[in-house]
Structure 1
Amino acid sequence: MAMRSHTVVTEFLLIAFTEHPQWRLPLFLVFLSFYLATLLGNTGMVILILKDRQLHTPMYFFLSHLSFVDICYSSVIVPQMLAMLGEHGTVISQARCAAQFFLFTFFASIDCYLLALMAYYSYVAMCQPLLYVTIMTKKAHLGLVSGVHVAGFSSAFVRTVTAFSLSFCGNNEINFNFCDLPPLLKLTCGDSYTQEVVIIVFAIFVMPACILVILVSYLFIILAIMQIHSVGGRAKTFSTCTSHLTAVAVFFGSLIFMYLRDNSGQSSERDQVVSVLYTVVTPMLNPLIYSLRNKEAKEAVMKSPSRPKAIGRS
């Protein structure tokens, strides 16, 4: 305890997935392929939405921003994970760790807000069709996306400053994929109660608040769908929401498991696997989910190779 209280940590050693050397190369190849698929898929989705006039709607406007954020979000984490696997651990300074934590929190917060906005859009489109034109104007969704970025920056800034005002001492090994809050809190010494309360309060304004917006929006959507007399009409209407619900389930499900639970006595290896879901797998899956489940996106994908002139004119 004496050594822990006097050995101040100025850099961290990330050692996730390095306990089993035989898995380093396979994991490196898997994560690299997922990252390349993330870059190609999300870049393709952004270009497709920009080029095809049929996709110039608020939902696809939000989706293009979601794809861009997923590229940034994944790029903050995955390259360092690849370096960690290649070097059997990565030394990272406290300043670089703070920068990674800020960027991760910033882009993750924007992801949460955008998914909530897309749920609200679906509610307006299905439950308030007469008000849709006046509510979802171009100025409105530009303002919403701008507000999302401001809110994401504010949350990330406060959480980063608060987290790195803590004192770190003793063991500097982080058995995790990147500089995230739960593993960092395990390295703190001294009284961190006030900082943890601030961090938790700001977290409540992001993830639980966004989940509440999504749940309320889809509650009204389901009630509206139940009023449709035709069974086929119900199925067709609800199918337009399934892509968004799938993305929400994967992203928020893994985040809830990671952050909205008691982390004491939990398996570090299990936490590493879960973190891969929301940092590596979800950004890769989002373009596939939306392009395969949405009729307009599928039509745009199908016609893009065969009708380049038409796309160019749009």
Structure 2
Amino acid sequence: MIVITGANGQLGRLVIDRLLSQGVAPGRIVAAVRTPAKAADLAARGVVVREGDYTRPDTLAQALAGAERVLLISSNDLGDRVPQHRAVIDAAKAAGAGQLVYTSVLHADRSPLGLAGEHRETEALIKASGLTHVLLRNGWYVENYLAALPMALQHGAFLGSAREGRISWAARADYADAAAAVLTRPIAGNEIFELAGDRGHTLTELAEEVARQSGQAVAYKDLPRADYQRVLLDAGLPAPLAELLADSDEQAAEGALQDDGGALSRLIDRPTAPLAASVGEALSAHQA
């Protein structure tokens, strides 16, 4: 059995889609979710749906029962992730899982990003568990910026504080393909993959591509970190998320989100999605 935790999230669902498209029998895939009723469509496709709530360790033993491999998708609960991840790691060990795969962050061992701390702690817990493991150190998702596309089109600008720092973002689908690739190949020893897009881009280049494809005037406006964080708060983002995004932009200006190692494209056996394709897809979704 392959158990996907956090399976109702955007990444989790993409990973399940990839596994099914690669011929993995749906009955061998377990979607561990906080609210099983929200995964009724997965159950209709034959996927095994089990309750598995990071905040309720008592649900995890049954969720991971019979697991051969576990994909631990990192929690979104900033500041509370380490105890939640520990609960999954403990359940995976108790279940006798042969492999634990974890979605970490790019260069977690040395990253200056504020969000990297919880990932480092989780990686340490995984290593101490003795489980055979794979650390998927995911870079930035291009969707993190394209989520602001409607506002950028409305106001003619993307806002940020990354200056002209290059960001090796990739599409969420690329990271999902990487996870599926690992989960369907023979289990080897412990591995670490630094995953990022084939090419780094600036936010200025993002704005230029949106302007080119949309035919509208769109530019990138750089702000001091505090001002950008205030914009995010005023837009309704929770304070921890606004702080995370502003910090990530500030660190990106210094190269913290740049990587040209090519590990992601090698793992998925194809180039990562180019910026033009990601922008085109986002524009199509916006116009639908």
Whether the TM-score (by the shorter chain) exceeds 0.5 is: no
Higher strand proportion: 2
For the aligned pair, the TM-score class normalised by the smaller chain equals: under 0.3
Higher helix proportion: 1
> Which of 1 and 2 has greater Rg?
1
Greater relative contact order (Cα < 8 A, sep 6+): 1
